[in-house]
Amino acid sequence: MINKNLIFLLSILVLLLNQVHVNAVAQEYVPRNIDVERSPKNILVGSYVGGRSHLKPMLDVTTILIERGHNVILLTSGKYEPSSEYPGLKQITLGSKSLTAKNDRRINIHKEVDYRTMGKFMELATATYNVTYEKFKNAAKEDNIDLFICDALVNQACIDVANNLNKPLVGFTSFMQMMEPKPYKSDPMYGCNISLENESFFERFRCTLIQPLQIAYAYGPSIRKLNDIKGQMNINPVSEKEPKFSLSLVDTFFGFELPQSSAPNVQEIGPVLSEVYPPLTPELSDFINGHIRVLYVAFGTRFYTTIENNNKILQSLYEAINNKMVDGVVWALSETSKDDFSPTLNFIDGTQVQTLPILNNEHPHIHITKFAPQFAVLNHTNTKLFFSHGGAGSTHESLYTGTPMLVLPFGGDQMGNAQRLETAGIALSLNKNALDVKDILNKVNVLLNDEHVKKNSKRMKYLARINSNRKYRAADLIEYMLYSSGLNEYLDDDFLKEWIPAESRMGFIKANNLDVYGSLLIIIPALIGIAFNLIKHTSNSLFNRKKSKQA
C-alpha cells in the first residue's frame, strides 16, 4: 500500500515538473539581433606583381564582400580574366610591363630567388612608380574608393595612395615575417632558417646583425631612388610613427606557421581557399580512378629547370613505378616542354628508355599534361603524394587534403615553406642544386610509408580545414574598418587606435622600457657609490675616534 502511494505521489511530481517545463518552453524569448546594417562600399584590390598566387587569396576574401553587397575593383598588372571564377569583379590593368610580363615570366630554378631578387623587383617597381601611382590615384577618385586592399610585395604605389588619401588600408600576404617580424624568426629568403631557437650564437649574431645590413645594402639604391621620385611628385610622406597597414591579413595558420604573439591588427586568416574548384577532366579522372597509389607532380607556372634535372625527375618517377612505390604518376608540366628532355633516360645498369613515348602518354602508368586542376587531383583519395615546388597555394591545398609533400623549393617563400612543412612532419625537401635519383626515391619511400608522416598529415588536415573558415573573419574585419571609417567621429588620428599596439607609437626605446632599464645603469652605480662613501665616511669617523681616544 505504501509503495503504491509513493508511486502515485512520484507520478504527480513528474507531471508537475513537466508542466513547469512546458510553461518555460512556451515562454517567448527575444532573439539576439546579429544583423549588421550594411550599405554598399567601394573596395580597391591592388597588386603590382599580379599573378594567380598573389591575387587569388585576396579575391577569395573579397568574394565574400561582393556577396554582402560591396563593389570590388581589381587593379593589377596584365589581364587576370577572373570573370568566370569571380563574377561581378571589375578589373583595371596597370599594363603588361611588370613582373608578370612574358619575358620575365619563366625563371630558371638555378637562379637565386632571395632578398637580392626582391631588390631587383623593387627596381622594376620604382622605375614605373610615378605611372603606377597615378593609376591607383585616378582609380581611387573615379570609383570613389572607400578602402584599399594592397598586396604587400613591392606595391608601394598602392600603399602610398591609400595613406595619402587617408583611406583605410589592408595589407595582404602569405609571408608572416613581412608583416610581423620577430627577432627569433627569419626565413631562407633572407639567408637564415625560419627559426633561430636552436641556432648557435654565431648564427644568431649573423642573422640578427650582419644579414639585416646586407639586406639594407641591397635595397638601399632602390629606396633612395624611390624617395627622390616621391619628392619630385610632392607626395606626402607617410609618418614613420604610424603602421603601414591599418590591418594586416596573413594567409597562413598556426600549426604550419611557427607560433608567435601578434598584434590585434595582424591576423592569421589562412589557408584561404575557394569554396568550389574545377573538377577533374574525364581523361584525368579515368587515369586516377584506375590507379590506387598516385604521385602528383607540379612545380608551379613560372619556374623551369635544366634538361639534366628534368631527366632525373622523370627517371625517378619511372623507377618509383617499377619499384612498386606508386602505381601511377600525374605530371603537370606547365612551363616545361617536351624539348626540355633528352631523347633517352640512361639508367645505372646501362638500360636506356626513350622519353618521347612517355611524354606522349604511351606509358600506361604515367600521365603527362600541360595543366591539371590541382585541388581536384589532390582531393582524390588515390593521390598519395605531392611532388611540388612548395608555393603557398600548393602548400595550403596539400595540407587541406592531407597529402604529404616532397618539396623541391626554387626560391622566394618556397624555401621557408619547405622548412615549415618538414617541421610539421609531413614533408621532406630536395636540394635544387644537387638533385639525385636515389635521394628522390628514398624520400618518396619514407613519405609513403612512415607512420609519423601519416599521423601528422591527418592532424594538419584537420587544422587546415578548421582554419579555412577564417577568411570570413577577414571579411568581417574589413567591414568593421569600412563602417567605422565612414563615421565622422572616427575620421581623426585615433582611428582604429583600439587595435594598433602602443609600441608602434612609442618608439623602440620607450616601447621596450630601455630608458627605464638604462636609468638603472645610472641609479644603481650611484646608490652603490653613495653607500660606499657613507661606509667609508663612517669607518673613517670610527677610526679617527678610536685613534683620538688612544691618544
pLDDT tier for residue 100 given thresholds of 50, 70 and 90: very low
What gap in Å lies between CA 83 and CA 61, rounded to an integer?
Answer: 16
Q: In 143-210, which residue ranges form alpha helices assigned H by DSSP?
A: 156-164, 176-179, 201-205
* Length of the chain in terms of residues written: 551
What gap in Å lies between CA 415 and CA 305, rounded to an integer?
Answer: 16
In the chain, the percentage of residues whose pLDDT exceeds 90 is: 52
What gap in Å lies between CA 43 and CA 72, rounded to an integer?
Answer: 5
pLDDT top residue among 493 and 327? 327
Q: CA dihedral in degrees (8, 9, 11, 16; nearest 10)?
A: 150
Mean pLDDT across the chain: 86
pLDDT computed for residue 363 by the predictor: 95
Q: Per mean pLDDT, which range of 38-47, 348-357, 513-522, 534-543 is the poorest?
A: 534-543
474 pLDDT exceeds 70?
A: yes
Contact 453, 443 (CB under 8 A): no
Structure confidence by residue, pLDDT tens digits, 31-90: 887 777 788 999 999 999 888 888 999 999 999 999 999 999 999 987 665 556 787 788
Question: Cell for 256?
Answer: 604550419
pLDDT computed for residue 240 by the predictor: 46
Q: Per mean pLDDT, which range of 120-124, 247-251, 494-498 is the poorest?
A: 494-498
Q: Is 211 exposed, middle or buried (0-12, 13-18, 19+ CB in 10 A)?
A: middle
Structure confidence by residue, pLDDT tens digits, 296-339: 999 876 666 788 889 999 999 999 999 999 999 999 987 777 78
Contact 150, 345 (CB under 8 A): no
Structure confidence by residue, pLDDT tens digits, 105-151: 556 666 667 778 777 778 888 889 999 999 999 999 999 999 999 99
Q: State the pTM of this model.
A: 0.85
Structure confidence by residue, pLDDT tens digits, 154-168: 899 999 999 888 888
350 pLDDT exceeds 50?
A: yes
Which SS3 state, helix, strand or coil, does residue 65 take? helix
Host H or E run for residue 282: helix 282-289
Parallel/antiparallel/unpaired status of strands 352-354 and 344-346: antiparallel
Contact 368, 283 (CB under 8 A): no
Q: Per mean pLDDT, which range of 263-277, 342-356, 410-424 is the poorest?
A: 342-356
Which SS3 state, helix, strand or coil, does residue 485 take? helix
Q: In 486-513, which residue ranges form alpha helices assigned H by DSSP?
A: 503-506, 508-511
**SS3 of 228-249:** HHHHHCCCCCCCCCCCCCCEEE
pLDDT tier for residue 291 given thresholds of 50, 70 and 90: very high
pLDDT computed for residue 14 by the predictor: 63
Within 13 Å, how many C-alpha atoms sit on residue 107's CB side? Answer: 22
pLDDT computed for residue 366 by the predictor: 97
